[in-house]
Amino acid sequence: GQNIDQPTEMTATEGAIVQINCTYQTSGFNGLFWYQQHAGEAPTFLSYNVLDGLEEKGRFSSFLSRSKGYSYLLLKELQMKDSASYLCAVRVAGGYNKLIFGAGTRLAVHP
């Protein structure tokens, strides 16, 4: 079976740092993705991890531990525009590009 867990909601203050966790149990693993989705809009790609460790991209970083089935997305210097849902997705093995998504974490950034 496929199971991807994320917290439902988080709140943070403008300028702060927030970490959004994701745990997964899937039949096969071939990469983990984070997407951002603003209300009423399409998801947009943020980051990709396939090997253990940290990937940094500007204010956003993503970490993966395959042995623990665990990832996190780290957002630094939070801005109001970062208020959105953050979706964790696993690409299952099998030779093609199918992604299984978690339910998403709604992040509210307050002044």
Asked if 79 and 111 touch (Cβ cutoff 8 Å), the reply is no
* 76: helix, strand or coil: coil
Please say which residue, 12 or 32, places its beta carbon nearer to other proteins. 32
Question: 80: closest CA among 34, 30, 12?
Answer: 12
* Closest distance to other proteins from the beta carbon of 43 (Å): 5
Please say which residue, 76 or 106, places its beta carbon nearer to other proteins. 106
List residues near other proteins by CB under 8 A.
Answer: 30-31, 33, 35, 41-45, 48, 50, 87, 89, 91, 96-104
Tokens found for residue 101: 């998504």
Tokens found for residue 20: 């959004």
* Closest distance to other proteins from the beta carbon of 93 (Å): 10
